[in-house]
Structure 1
Amino acid sequence: MARSSTDGLKYLSNALATPEQLSSSSSAIDGVAPELEASIRFAGTQLTQAAGVLLRLSQDIIAQAIVTFTRFWIGAEGGSLRIYSVKDVSAAALYMTAKLSFQPTSPRSVLNVYNFLVSRDASPLWFINPKGVSEKPSPETYCLSEGGYQSQRMVLLRIESIILRTLGFNTHVALPHTIALTYLQTLGVSSSAVAQRVFEHLNAALLSPQLLYVTHQPNALAVSSIYLAAREVGIKLVDGEWWEVFDVDREELGFLVVGMRSMEGFARAEMEKWKGRAIPMVVDEVEAEIERRRMMAEGDLVTTAAMNILHSTLSTWRDRLAPVSRTSTFRNTGQITPEEFVLAGDYLVYKFPSWSWADASSPAKRVSYLPPGKQFLVTRGVPCHRRLNDNFAGDAGHDDELVRDMLSGGISGNDDDGWLRTGGGQDSADRQENRIKDVRTVDESGNMGEREEEEDEIPDMEDEDDDEEAIIREPASGTTQPTRTYNLYITYSNFYRTPRLYMSGYLSPSEPLPPHLMMEDVVGDYKDKTVTLEDFPWYDGNVKMASVHPCRHASVMKTLLDRADAALKLRREKLKQAQSDPSKAPSAGESGLEGLVDDIKALSLSDQQQQGSDKSGGDEWEVLQHDEEQEVAIRVDQYLVVFLKFIASVTPGIEHDFTMGV
């Protein structure tokens, strides 16, 4: 069947944005100022162009990727800067476009290039590294580790699918470059200077804040660039309104010429506006910039800065100025060195990929005792379905057994090594008896239901074949409260020589949780004592987060170490007795410290099994020996696994096990 002329022409035209889409955007709905959105989008297009050049892709592939990147942010159904990072969308658009072309490139190549371009030390881009590269940067500042690659590769593929869904799987992009060459030949223009200037205008228009490539067809862009280039070079074209021959009217031609001529002034204005400051490239940086602008608009920047000096700067500088310990005292004090913190962080990232290492927002925010790129650990989108009201918390916020129950683990002891006493206390046996007598249903929102009579029949286990993690993570269908999520950050406190947890909450993926409302997810007396609101010291600007103070972390960990070792010894004794008397064998899934020992032992066994299965190649985790005769229950590289378990007692509503299913 012969192809009609209409079918052929569709490859020379594009789907354009509608006036409704141009009048609003998902970012604007989420509270991003149009001027800030234009700046970030402008930086994202430059990042895409630079990455394409370093990947040695042809300009037509780069241009198509920039158009795809621009389309993603348009309209109320498009992407929001408060949900998706510009660098991730840029990388996914370039990777996807190259994959559909004759020059496909691997995810590793794309991620290596972007890791270099967004490095605060090595990047040659003015909007990421405003101070420039003064000396040869350390490779650690831009080299991508294997663990980092695997984590970012998952993000790359996920964002690629989101772009496709947002664009309705329409990846067609017609470019005006070849059309412009055809028009020049038709007009009889053979000057190479004009052709070069035409291409310069077309490439610059890709970065236009007027979104010229998504509001005008390629033939109009080609005609406008020819008209402007001929006037600048001084070449006379044919007489008459020749542009009408190419289906472009005078009004559209005038608008496009003005838009193309304004690009240089816009670029200069952007460089002046952001002079000395980096343009936000990730969601957290966008949030920090929005918060900074909000405080400036309200006129309380000076007051807020003073409060931050009192509450945050003092502790930050105390950590930076404290002497750095290189001697391990983990077994004796529960404290760890920076090297041990990195070792424990590597183990956490290796075992639980939802965690990843992250760098400070600028070199000035880094600490010298931790390597670049490994300044802190972060996991995002941790669900928090329940508020800590009376119905949900029960006795958690009113007695002093919260942490002590876990510490005791069935081992007697009268020492007061609990983290923080919260309330007057109550006999745990009485409470347990009361709970047995009064069993009620509790929905995902923490609301108590009516008493339920004990059922006569026990359900068949085959009928309960649902995925356990799915049951935990899915919110109740009838919940009336929005599901909160948290980004969790683990840093190293050099003064206390322990990890420290920061939390940043969200009411929805696009709506940050006001800092004071984060206290609703903290148990009772921990509020404003163990948990306070402070600036996150690794980000520029004033980003308020809830922070769990590390003053008692070491003592709690030391108690856990001692009692876990005692529980391990007790379990070995039970196993020896079981060899002679099977009726005395320990039961599976015991609670308390013996249960914790089983969890840690399971991790060690998983390490050994995975190492054995990976002997053929790939990264391997160096597994320390953990046999039945050892005297140590918890290794130093497993520190953060145990740390997150006792942190859960402070914020039980936040599902920490969402990040690590031990």
Structure 2
Amino acid sequence: MASRKRPALARLTNALATPSQLQVSQALGLSGSLLSSLHYLGGSLIQVAGAILNIPAPTIATSAIIFHRFHLVAGFLEQSIRDTVAACLYIASKSCEFPLRPSVILAAVDTACQDPLAVGGKRIPKRKYTRANTETLDHWELRILTTLAFNLHVVTPYTLCMEYLVSANVDRDRQKTVAQRAWNYLNDTLKTKICILHQPNVIAVTAIWLAAREAELELLDGEKWWEAFDVDTEDMGHLVLLLREGRDIAIRERDRIESGRKPTLTVEDVKARILEEASLSSRQ
């Protein structure tokens, strides 16, 4: 993973994707729409499982960032999303000092796989897992760690977002409204490749900008207040487009469910689509 670091923000930066890394999955024959769906499914499973496990938002965010980083480098052809989601939660729970038993993580992920678009509120079912199940989790943990060269440095945008809002000097009532909306946008970014394409300060500022626009609130009495946080409009625009792409996926799936059709965003379905697209690509 490459990193675009500015001296003033060195402690607040993450490793970002390089152009060559972004071409890995495409080179294997997967379409852009399928890749977006795969990243969205992984991020959704992590958020649902994280809600079931009742773990803090930064731990969930760390899990999602590790997931997107790993699949950026390794691709999706040979990897099981269910297994890598569980391993990313396992790694993040330990790195964030919120350790969980492997069997508990596996149970939460398997429950999430039954309904990837759920919003949480489910209890962890009592499931029995064999030693082979936990050994599989250990295998994927090691594979992810070695693929990422044991680089688990992750900066999440949540704290930055709250700090920026405080510095914007907004009255308490409106700040609460904007903060909640911005927080929701931050959660949405975890279902896309945004976290491996943009630094946390860009993500935090864009979430605030979107939330403030919805609340019809002008911040810092200036047209380009985001420049005070070292963010430019080009990066913000790209981030908004990626968010819109993620929301389009969610709307598509919910429309299918509401109309009585089978959702396409399931672990089984995307596995079949991966094999189909890879097979078509190999024949060309």
TM-score tier after normalising by the smaller chain length: 0.7 to 0.9
Unaligned runs of 5+ in 2: 1-5, 119-124
Partner SS state of residue 183, structure 2: helix
Tell me which residue corresponds to 2:262. 276
Letter of the 1:175 partner, please give it: T
Q: Relative to total residues, which structure has the larger strand share, 1 or 2?
A: 1
* Aligned pairs (5 A) from 1:4-83: 9-22=9-22, 24-25=23-24, 27-74=25-72, 78-83=73-78
**1:466-524 C-alpha deviation (Å, 9 max, x unpaired):** xxxxxxxxxxxxxxxxxxxxxxxxxxxxxxxxxxxxxxxxxxxxx9xxxxxxxxxxxxx
Deviation, structure 1 residue 262: 4.8
User: Residue in 1 aligned with 2:85?
Assistant: 90
- Report matched runs for 1:537-576 at 5 Å: none
Root-mean-square deviation (Å): 2.8
CA contact (8 A) 2:30 2:278 kept: no
Please tell me the residue identity of whatever aligns with 1:96.
I
1:8 and 1:111 map into 2 onto residues whose CA distance is 40
Question: Which of 150, 153, 157 in structure 1 is aligned with 2:131?
Answer: 150
| 1:340 equivalent in structure 2 | none
- Give the whole-Å Cα distance in 1 for the aligned partners of 2:277 and 2:255: 17
Give the structure-1-normalised TM-score.
0.37
- Paired residue for 1:192, among 169, 176, 195? 176
* Deviation digits for residues 597-640 of structure 1 (CA, Å, limit 9, x no counterpart): xxxxxxxxxxxxxxxxxxxxxxxxxxxxxxxxxxxxxxxxxxxx
Residues 251-299 of structure 1 show CA distances to partners (whole Å, capped at 9, x for unaligned) of: 22333334335543332134457941454526xx65643566699x8xx
Which residue identity does 1:174 align to in structure 2? Answer: V
How far apart in 1 are the matches of 2:271 and 2:242?
30
Matches within 5 A, 1:432-451: none
Could you tell me which residue of structure 2 aligns to residue 369 of structure 1?
Answer: none
Alpha carbons 1:86, 1:281 under 8 Å: kept: yes
Structure 1 pair 80/9, CA: closer, same or farther in 2 (3 Å)? closer
**Distance in 1 of aligned mates of 2:112 and 2:274:** 24
Asked if the contact 2:17–2:197 (Cα under 8 Å) also holds between the matched residues in 1, the reply is yes
Structure 1 stretches of at least 4 aligned residues deviating more than 6 Å after TM superposition:
none
Letter in 1 for 2:201: N
Query: Aligned equivalents of 1:288 and 1:205: distance in 2?
Result: 26
Q: Secondary structure at the match of 2:97?
A: coil
The answer to whether the aligner puts 1:289 opposite 2:273 as a matched pair is: yes
Alpha-carbon distance between aligned partners in 2 of 1:266 and 1:177, rounded to the nearest angstrom: 24
State the partner residue of 1:254. Answer: 237
Structure 1 gaps, min length 5? 1-5, 128-141, 298-510, 512-662
Partner of 1:169: 150
- CA drift of 1:113 comes to 1.7
1:425: which partner in 2? none
Contact 1:82 1:286 (C-alpha < 8 Å) held by counterparts: no
Distance 1:226 1:116, change over 3 A: closer
Distance 2:12 2:29 in 1: 36
- Partner of 1:42: helix, strand, or coil? helix
Partner Cα separation in structure 1 for residue 149 and residue 256 of structure 2? 36
- Asked if the contact 1:66/1:93 (under 8 Å) is kept, the reply is yes
8 A contact 1:81–1:286 mirrored in 2: no
Q: Specify the code of the residue in structure 2 equivalent to 1:276.
A: K
Q: What is the rounded CA distance, in whole Å, between the counterparts of 1:266 and 1:288 in structure 2?
A: 18
Compare relative contact order (CA 8 Å, sep 6+) and give the higher one, 1 or 2.
2
The within-5 A match list for 1:109-128 is 109-118=104-113, 123-126=114-117
Looking at structure 2, the residues matched to 158 and 72 of structure 1 have their Cα atoms a distance apart, in angstroms, of 14
Task: Indicate the residue corresponding to 1:320 in structure 2.
Answer: none
In structure 2, how many angstroms separate the alpha carbons of the residues matched to 1:262 and 1:36? Answer: 12
Paired amino acid for 2:142: S
User: Retained in 2: the 8 A contact 1:65–1:94?
Assistant: yes
Per the alignment, do residues 290 and 179 of structure 1 end up closer, same or farther by CA in structure 2, a change over 3 Å counting? closer
Structure 1 residues 34 and 259, CA gap change in structure 2 (3 angstroms): closer
SS of residue matched to 1:104:
coil
Report the residue type matching 1:260 in the other structure.
Answer: L
8 Å contact 1:116–1:143 — kept in the other structure?
Answer: no
User: Counterparts of 1:154 and 1:287 in 2: how far apart (Å)?
Assistant: 22
Given that residues 49 and 62 in structure 1 are in contact (C-alpha distance below 8 angstroms), is that contact kept between their aligned partners in structure 2?
A: yes
Matched residues in 2 for 1:265 and 1:280: separation?
16
Alpha carbons of 1:289 and 1:245: their partners in 2 closer, same or farther (altered >3 Å)? closer
User: What amino acid is aligned across from residue 164 of structure 2 in structure 1?
Assistant: Y
Q: Among the aligned pairs, what percent are the same residue?
A: 33
TM-aligned CA distance change 1:60 to 1:291, over 3 Å: closer
**In structure 2, C-alpha distance between the alignment counterparts of 1:186 and 1:276, rounded to whole Å:** 46
Partner-residue secondary structure (3-state), 1:73:
helix
Distance 1:196 1:248 in 2: 21
Following the alignment from structure 2 to structure 1, what is the Cα–Cα distance between the partners of residues 57 and 151?
20
Q: What SS class does the counterpart of residue 185 from structure 1 fall into?
A: helix
2:101 to 90, 106, 110: 106
| Mapped partners of 2:163, 2:117: distance in 1 | 36
Q: Which amino acid aligns with 2:248?
A: G
Asked if the contact 2:37–2:249 (Cα under 8 Å) also holds between the matched residues in 1, the reply is no
User: Measured at CA, do residues 287 and 231 of structure 1 come closer, stay the same or move farther in structure 2, by a change above 3 Å?
Assistant: closer
Residues 287, 111 of structure 1: CA spacing in aligned structure 2 closer, same or farther, 3 A cutoff? closer
Q: CA deviation at 1:205?
A: 1.2
Counterpart pick for 2:188 among 183, 204, 207: 204
Q: Where does 1:575-594 land on structure 2 (aligned, <5 Å)? A: none
1:72/1:163 contact within 8 Å kept: yes
Answer yes or no: is 1:235 the counterpart of 2:221: no
1:293-312 map, 5 Å: none
Please state how far the C-alpha of 1:7 moved relative to its aligned partner.
8.9
Q: Return the alpha-carbon distance in structure 1 between the equivalents of residues 168 and 89 of structure 2.
A: 34
What is the TM-score with the length of structure 2 in the denominator?
0.82
Correspondence for 2:207: 225
1:554-600: per-residue Cα shift (whole Å, max 9, x none)?
xxxxxxxxxxxxxxxxxxxxxxxxxxxxxxxxxxxxxxxxxxxxxxx
Counterpart secondary structure, 2:130: helix
